[in-house]
A and B are shown apart, each in its own frame.
Chain A
Amino acid sequence: MKQFSILMQKEWRENIRNYKIYWVPAIFILLGITEPVVNFFLPQILESSGGLPEGAVFEFPTPPPEQILTAVMEQFQTIGLAVLILAYMGTVAGERKSGTATLLYVRPLSFPAYFLSKWVMASAISLVSVWVGFLAGYYYTLLFFDRVEGMELFQMVGTYSIWVLLIVSIIVAASAAMPNGGLAAAVAFAIYLILQLTDGLFGAAWSISPVKLPQYAAAWLADSPDSGSLAGAIGITALIILALLVFGSWISWKNKAKTKV
């Protein structure tokens, strides 16, 4: 526990001083704002782009606010997750490759504390980013469209956060396992694609899949997801995250010899 707090302080300083604590949430805020703003100003955008025949009239149905927030989540699912992969692909691998990890590894270091400090910091920044991104999107949805129940938003973002935690766990574990950040990113992205592909092929018969969590999150805005399936998906995701934490700690220790001396 003592080593964990020492290493957390290091991670905190790193994330502040390399500005990650600012730019990751800023990108999510931007993604959150983009969807309602673009939807609201779409007629003006099309008009100003020109090229439309004289007298042409387009009727844009006003999208419901739930649809805007679901679209925000889709943005997070693509660009947002790519940003998280880029931000944390080198969190362990980068330290080994540069040799900065060497002076940590030569001490009586607790590798679970080391890996956990990386995971906690990456998770905290990712979750804060997702929440402020959704809040920003929610604010502009409220401003330009209509309101969504606060509790529904809370349940949606809460459910989505568990999915984000899984993705962060995969990224940090991949960083611990791979020799460099680039390979860690490739592996994390490949796992993400395999998960999506598996769900696409067998998802209809597998309702307690972690990959279903974004769908269940969106379902809170319509009415509510099936509580049994949701609980099952959350349970299995928690177990996978736990397994990734154990694996990440072990592989960090196993790979300590690969640090540059």
Chain B
Amino acid sequence: MSILVVEKLTKRYGQESAVEDLSFVLEKETATALIGPNGAGKTTSLSMLADLLSPSSGKITVAKGLTIGFLPQYPQFFPWLTALEFTEMAAKLSGIESKKARLQASRTLGFVGLESAMNKKTGTFSGGMKQRLGLAQAIVHQPKLLLLDEPISALDPTGRREIMDLLKALQQDTTILYSTHILNDAEEMTDQLLFMKGGRLIEQGSLNDVKNRHASPHIRIRFTNPYQAAEFAGRLTWEREIKGAVVFLPVYKNGPSMQQVLEVLASEKQDILGVDYQTASLEDIFLKVVAAK
């Protein structure tokens, strides 16, 4: 079931186009990664979805009664408020009853790991703590759609891991759209990929779809020396590529299966260092797609 439909969304500043003809659908309780280089239009797109910016044209249709939580890339807080005061205010402004707001706020701060700092003023918070607080204010009213602009980019590896774990926990009953340029993390938590460049959507689909289209999976055989590799490759009828002592066999279309390759190697009693199945990483795919378009 779709909870948000974006059709031909465009944002122009004078002659400059920040986002052009962006169209996609978010299905309920899925995670979508919005990926693109700096200036691709990710923040502008999320700002339009969060109703901070009005589109120049296009249409955003949301499911009836959809509640939204938004985390900007660099969330800024009133430095004279404590984390609890801020989160409680955020809850109340999002429609949570006053009586429940404080309890909800302190529970949420506990969830994001700020239990011991909830009575400290936000002006004393480190970057990582601010990111956690940013997440807390975005989820305190239990929104059905969570829009996150680079939620993990500013964090160290430990912080990234912790926030990713929190997001995965939230994904159980929340639809998440997040922008990122840390592609390993995107690979870990995504049902749909949206690649943007120059304000346009240049590729979209599930992780498997995108990989099938661009990953060029292949079998890699590592020989002990280049002569052995060349000699072996010369006898093959399959499409192949030789790089030093390594032979690559593409597995798409009429390529061989792993079992076929193993059978040939065994029958020829080839002395090899190893054989494995390789596919391009999301980062490789991203670089390839961005370079191509």
Which residues of A are at the interface with B, using a C-beta cutoff of 8 A?
Answer: 2-3, 6-7, 9-10, 13-14, 17-18, 98-100, 102-109, 256-257, 259-261
Instruction: Write the nearest CB–CB distance from B123 to chain A, whole angstroms.
Output: 10
Q: Is the interface of B mostly helix, strand, loop or mixed?
A: loop
Chain B residues within 8 Å of A259, by CB: 52
B261 contacts A by Cβ under 8 Å: no
Is there an interface contact between A261 and B47, defined as CB atoms closer than 8 Å?
A: yes
Is there an interface contact between A103 and B92, defined as CB atoms closer than 8 Å?
A: no
Chain A residues within 8 Å of B90, by CB: 103, 107
Is there an interface contact between B54 and A10, defined as CB atoms closer than 8 Å?
A: no
Instruction: Write the nearest CB–CB distance from A100 to chain B, whole angstroms.
Output: 5
B80 contacts A by Cβ under 8 Å: yes
Chain A residues within 8 Å of B72, by CB: 99, 102-103, 261
Chain B residues within 8 Å of A106, by CB: 50-52, 68, 70
Is there an interface contact between B78 and A14, defined as CB atoms closer than 8 Å?
A: yes
The answer for the CA separation of A14 and B79 in the assembled complex, in Å, is: 9
Q: How many residues of B contact A (CB 8 A)?
A: 29
Is there an interface contact between A103 and B75, defined as CB atoms closer than 8 Å?
A: yes
Instruction: Write the nearest CB–CB distance from A6 to chain B, whole angstroms.
Output: 5
Using A6-B92, A106-B68 as known contacts, list a sample of 6 further A-B pairs with CB atoms less than 8 Å apart, ordered by residue number in A. Answer: A6-B89, A6-B93, A10-B81, A18-B80, A99-B76, A103-B90
Chain B residues within 8 Å of A99, by CB: 72, 74-76
Q: Is the interface of A mostly helix, strand, loop or mixed?
A: helix
B43 contacts A by Cβ under 8 Å: yes
Interface centre among A10, A17, A104, A106 (most CB of B within 10 A): A106
Is there an interface contact between B76 and A102, defined as CB atoms closer than 8 Å?
A: yes
Q: Which of B47, B76, B93 contacts A100 (CB 8 A)?
A: B76
Cβ contacts A to B, 10 pairs, < 8 Å: A6-B93, A9-B89, A13-B81, A100-B77, A100-B78, A103-B75, A103-B76, A107-B90, A261-B47, A261-B73
Chain A residues within 8 Å of B76, by CB: 98-100, 102-103, 260
Chain A residues within 8 Å of B278, by CB: none
Is there an interface contact between A13 and B93, defined as CB atoms closer than 8 Å?
A: no
Is there an interface contact between B80 and A257, defined as CB atoms closer than 8 Å?
A: no
Is there an interface contact between B94 and A107, defined as CB atoms closer than 8 Å?
A: yes
**Interface 1/0s, chain B 52-65, versus A by CB < 8 A?**
11100000000000
Q: Which of B68, B73, B77 contacts A103 (CB 8 A)?
A: B77
Is there an interface contact between A105 and B80, defined as CB atoms closer than 8 Å?
A: no
Known contacts A10-B78, A14-B78, A98-B76: A107-B47 contact under CB 8 Å: no
| Interface residues in B128-145 (C-beta closer than 8 Å to A) | 134, 137
Instruction: Write the nearest CB–CB distance from B98 to chain A, whole angstroms.
Output: 8
Interface centre among A108, A259, A260, A261 (most CB of B within 10 A): A261
The answer for the CA separation of A251 and B173 in the assembled complex, in Å, is: 37
Chain A residues within 8 Å of B149, by CB: 261
